[in-house]
Amino acid sequence: MNNFLTWQVHGNADSGGGLLEMLTGLLAFFEGLTASGWGGFFNTLMPALTNMNNIHPLLVHFPIAFLFVFLLFDVVACLAKKPQWREVASYLLYFGAVGAVFTVIAGLSAAYSVQHNDVVHAIMERHESLGISVLTLAVILSLWRLKKGASMSGGANTFFLILSGLMCVLLALTADLGGLMVYKYGTAVEFVPSQPASESNHHEHEH
């Protein structure tokens, strides 16, 4: 046990220096925040956000998380016959719909703020159409849920779940196209040349 704790505190291959180095790095980070003044505080705290051309990549995570978890909760609640769980699912749907509104608005703005070629433009058009479809379904389902409540049953409930599943399928396809544009074509990604190996710190994970 003592050997294990010593190994954790003083460092090992995967911890990058152990708990002491992690604590030192954390304290140095907070010291840097206070030393940078109010002007550089936000830049230091959120460096990625301050370097983004648009906030669409930041917002997309919210409707994805809310809407997928909504479907999971709703299906499980129906199978387990737990109306209270469906109430929770309703709020997840509402939050997902609101997130989708802001995400689509930011996405439409982003389409005009990033450079892209014809191939990416075609992907972007499909991504946009699917995103608007997801938003439309999320709003329709939210309004339906607000009107009928979480106690739907029978054929209406089955159709509601089918539309919810369709919405999540379209959401997955939308997210896939977004990832394709970023990770294959580098859309909206600023290229920073890497340093030669002799000038950069070499990092490895050993097991």
Query: CA 59, CA 64: separation in Å to the nearest integer?
Result: 9
At residue 55, the pLDDT reads: 82
- pLDDT-derived band of residue 11, with 50, 70 and 90 as boundaries? very low
Summarised one tens digit per residue, pLDDT across range 28-73 is 766 666 666 655 655 666 666 666 678 888 899 999 999 999 999 9
Summarised one tens digit per residue, pLDDT across range 68-110 is 999 999 999 999 999 899 999 999 999 999 999 999 999 998 8
Angle between helices 61-80 and 154-183 (to 10 degrees): 150
